[in-house]
Structure 1
Amino acid sequence: MATSAHPATDLPQAMISTMTPAGAWVIVLPLVLALMGAALLLMTRRSKNYHAGIAILIVGAIIACDGVLLAEVLQNGPVSMTMGKWLPPFGISFTADIFGAGFALTAALVTLLLLVYSQSERTAADGEDGYYALILLLLAGVTGSFLTGDLFNLYVWFEVMLISSFGLIVNGGRAVQLDGALKYGFLNFLATTFFLLSLGLIYGLLGTLNMADIIGAAPHANAAALGGVATLMLLAFGIKAAAFPLNAWLPASYHTPPAAVSALFAGLLTKVGIYALLRVLVVLLPASRDMLEPVLTIIAVLTLIISPLGAIAETNLRRAMGFIVMGGIGVVLAGIAIPSQNGVAGSGMYIVHAMLVMTALYLVAGLVEKVTGQTDSRKMGGVYAANSVVSTLFLLLVLAAAGVPPFLGFWPKLLLLQAGLDAATGTATGMPPDFYGIGIIVALLLNAFFTLIAGTRLWAHIFWRAGAEGETSEHSPVPVEPLSNRNNRLGLWPCVVLVAAIMIAGLAPNYLLDAAQRGAGDLIDPARYIAAVGLAGNSP
Structure 2
Amino acid sequence: MAVGTAETVDLSGAMVLAPAPLADWVVVAPVAIPIIFGAFLLMIRHETRLHATIAIVGLLTTLAFNAALLARVLDQGPVVMTMGGWLPPFGISFAADALGASFSFAATLVAVVGAVYAITDIGSVGRRYGFYPFMMLMMAGVGGSFLTGDIFNLYVWFEVFLISSFGMLVLGSERPQLDGTMKYAILNLIGTTFFLIATALLYGAFGTLNMADIVRKADGLRGTAPLMTLAVFYLLAFGMKAAAFPVHFWLPASYHTPRIVTAALFGGVLTKVGVYALLRTEVMLFSPEREVLSGLIGWVAAATMIVGIMGALAQTDIRRVLGFVVISGVGVMLAGLALGTMEGVAGTVFYAFHSMVVMSALYLLAGVMNGIGGTYTLRTLSGLYASHPLVAVFAFLLMLSVAGLPPASGLWPKIMLVEASIEAGSPWLAFAILATGLLTTLALGRVFLLAIWRPAIEKAVPSPTSPTIGYVALGALAVPTLLMGLYPEPFISVAEHAAAGLLDASVYIGSVFPEGVVP
If the length of structure 1 is used for normalisation, what is the TM-score? 0.91
State yes or no: 1:285 paired with 2:265: no
Q: What residue is the counterpart of 2:114 in the other structure?
A: 114
Instruction: For 2:55 and 2:402, locate their aligned partners in 1 and report how far apart those are by CA, in whole Å.
Output: 30
Instruction: For 2:260 and 2:252, locate their aligned partners in 1 and report how far apart those are by CA, in whole Å.
Output: 14
Please say if residues 212 and 529 of structure 1, whose CA atoms lie closer than 8 Å, have aligned partners that are also in contact: yes
Secondary structure of the corresponding residue to residue 119 of structure 1: helix
Instruction: For 2:344 and 2:16, locate their aligned partners in 1 and report how far apart those are by CA, in whole Å.
Output: 39
| Amino acid corresponding to residue 501 of structure 1 in structure 2 | P
Please say if residues 118 and 491 of structure 1, whose CA atoms lie closer than 8 Å, have aligned partners that are also in contact: no
Matches within 5 A, 1:82-93: 82-93=82-93
Distance 1:201 1:505, change over 3 A: same
| Amino acid corresponding to residue 460 of structure 2 in structure 1 | V
Q: What residue is the counterpart of 2:489 in the other structure?
A: 510
Please say if residues 243 and 251 of structure 2, whose CA atoms lie closer than 8 Å, have aligned partners that are also in contact: yes
| Deviates most, 221-230 or 314-323 | 221-230
| Amino acid corresponding to residue 479 of structure 1 in structure 2 | K
Alpha-carbon offset, residue 415 of structure 1: 1.0
Distance 1:53 1:377, change over 3 A: same
Instruction: For 2:127 and 2:206, locate their aligned partners in 1 and report how far apart those are by CA, in whole Å.
Output: 49
Instruction: For 1:128 and 1:460, locate their aligned partners in 2 and report how far apart those are by CA, in whole Å.
Output: 39
State yes or no: 1:452 paired with 2:441: yes
State yes or no: 1:479 paired with 2:446: no
Matches within 5 A, 1:114-133: 114-126=114-126, 128-133=128-133
RMSD between aligned residues = 1.7
Instruction: For 2:500 and 2:333, locate their aligned partners in 1 and report how far apart those are by CA, in whole Å.
Output: 17
State yes or no: 1:461 paired with 2:441: no
Q: What residue is the counterpart of 1:438 in the other structure?
A: 427
| Amino acid corresponding to residue 202 of structure 1 in structure 2 | L
Please say if residues 343 and 415 of structure 1, whose CA atoms lie closer than 8 Å, have aligned partners that are also in contact: yes
Q: What residue is the counterpart of 1:401 in the other structure?
A: 402
Instruction: For 1:247 and 1:126, locate their aligned partners in 2 and report how far apart those are by CA, in whole Å.
Output: 28
Please say if residues 282 and 289 of structure 2, whose CA atoms lie closer than 8 Å, have aligned partners that are also in contact: yes
Secondary structure of the corresponding residue to residue 16 of structure 1: coil
Distance 1:219 1:315, change over 3 A: same
State yes or no: 1:215 paired with 2:215: yes
Instruction: For 1:166 and 1:525, locate their aligned partners in 2 and report how far apart those are by CA, in whole Å.
Output: 37
State yes or no: 1:260 paired with 2:240: no
Please say if residues 383 and 480 of structure 1, whose CA atoms lie closer than 8 Å, have aligned partners that are also in contact: no
| Deviates most, 512-521 or 166-175 | 512-521
Alpha-carbon offset, residue 13 of structure 1: 6.2
Please say if residues 93 and 148 of structure 1, whose CA atoms lie closer than 8 Å, have aligned partners that are also in contact: yes
| Deviates most, 124-133 or 279-288 | 124-133
Deviation digits for residues 232-256 of structure 1 (CA, Å, limit 9, x no counterpart):
1111101110001111111111010
Deviation digits for residues 487-522 of structure 1 (CA, Å, limit 9, x no counterpart):
333222111121122012210111111111121111
Q: What residue is the counterpart of 2:512 in the other structure?
A: 533
Instruction: For 1:15 and 1:127, locate their aligned partners in 2 and report how far apart those are by CA, in whole Å.
Output: 44
Alpha-carbon offset, residue 37 of structure 1: 1.2
Please say if residues 213 and 535 of structure 1, whose CA atoms lie closer than 8 Å, have aligned partners that are also in contact: no
Structure with bigger RCO (C-alpha 8 Å, 6+ apart):
1
Instruction: For 1:478 and 1:146, locate their aligned partners in 2 and report how far apart those are by CA, in whole Å.
Output: 47
Please say if residues 530 and 536 of structure 1, whose CA atoms lie closer than 8 Å, have aligned partners that are also in contact: no
Instruction: For 1:209 and 1:535, locate their aligned partners in 2 and report how far apart those are by CA, in whole Å.
Output: 18
Distance 1:406 1:15, change over 3 A: farther
| Amino acid corresponding to residue 158 of structure 2 in structure 1 | F
Q: What residue is the counterpart of 2:235 in the other structure?
A: 234
| Amino acid corresponding to residue 299 of structure 1 in structure 2 | V
Please say if residues 198 and 229 of structure 1, whose CA atoms lie closer than 8 Å, have aligned partners that are also in contact: yes
Q: What residue is the counterpart of 2:148 in the other structure?
A: 148
Instruction: For 2:408 and 2:135, locate their aligned partners in 1 and report how far apart those are by CA, in whole Å.
Output: 29
Distance 1:445 1:531, change over 3 A: same
Distance 1:376 1:27, change over 3 A: same
| Deviates most, 234-243 or 368-377 | 368-377
Q: What residue is the counterpart of 2:339 in the other structure?
A: 338
Please say if residues 51 and 127 of structure 2, whose CA atoms lie closer than 8 Å, have aligned partners that are also in contact: no
Q: What residue is the counterpart of 1:473 in the other structure?
A: none
Distance 1:95 1:492, change over 3 A: same
Deviation digits for residues 452-510 of structure 1 (CA, Å, limit 9, x no counterpart):
1101011111111124xxxxxxxxx22235666x5333222111121122012210111
| Amino acid corresponding to residue 451 of structure 1 in structure 2 | T
Distance 1:354 1:140, change over 3 A: same
Instruction: For 1:299 and 1:537, locate their aligned partners in 2 and report how far apart those are by CA, in whole Å.
Output: 43
Please say if residues 14 and 86 of structure 2, whose CA atoms lie closer than 8 Å, have aligned partners that are also in contact: no
Distance 1:234 1:125, change over 3 A: closer
> Identity rate of aligned residues, in percent?
43
Instruction: For 1:382 and 1:49, locate their aligned partners in 2 and report how far apart those are by CA, in whole Å.
Output: 35
Structure 2: gaps (5+ residues): 1-11
| Amino acid corresponding to residue 76 of structure 2 in structure 1 | N
Instruction: For 1:515 and 1:450, locate their aligned partners in 2 and report how far apart those are by CA, in whole Å.
Output: 29
Matches within 5 A, 1:190-205: 190-205=190-205
Secondary structure of the corresponding residue to residue 302 of structure 2: helix
| Amino acid corresponding to residue 434 of structure 2 in structure 1 | L
Instruction: For 1:22 and 1:483, locate their aligned partners in 2 and report how far apart those are by CA, in whole Å.
Output: 50
| Amino acid corresponding to residue 155 of structure 1 in structure 2 | Y
Secondary structure of the corresponding residue to residue 226 of structure 2: helix
Q: What residue is the counterpart of 1:315 in the other structure?
A: 316
Instruction: For 1:536 and 1:395, locate their aligned partners in 2 and report how far apart those are by CA, in whole Å.
Output: 53
Please say if residues 291 and 340 of structure 2, whose CA atoms lie closer than 8 Å, have aligned partners that are also in contact: no
Distance 1:159 1:80, change over 3 A: same
Q: What residue is the counterpart of 2:5 in the other structure?
A: none
Distance 1:267 1:30, change over 3 A: same
Alpha-carbon offset, residue 76 of structure 1: 0.5
| Amino acid corresponding to residue 218 of structure 1 in structure 2 | A
| Amino acid corresponding to residue 527 of structure 1 in structure 2 | S
Q: What residue is the counterpart of 2:170 in the other structure?
A: 170
Instruction: For 1:125 and 1:174, locate their aligned partners in 2 and report how far apart those are by CA, in whole Å.
Output: 13
Secondary structure of the corresponding residue to residue 82 of structure 2: strand
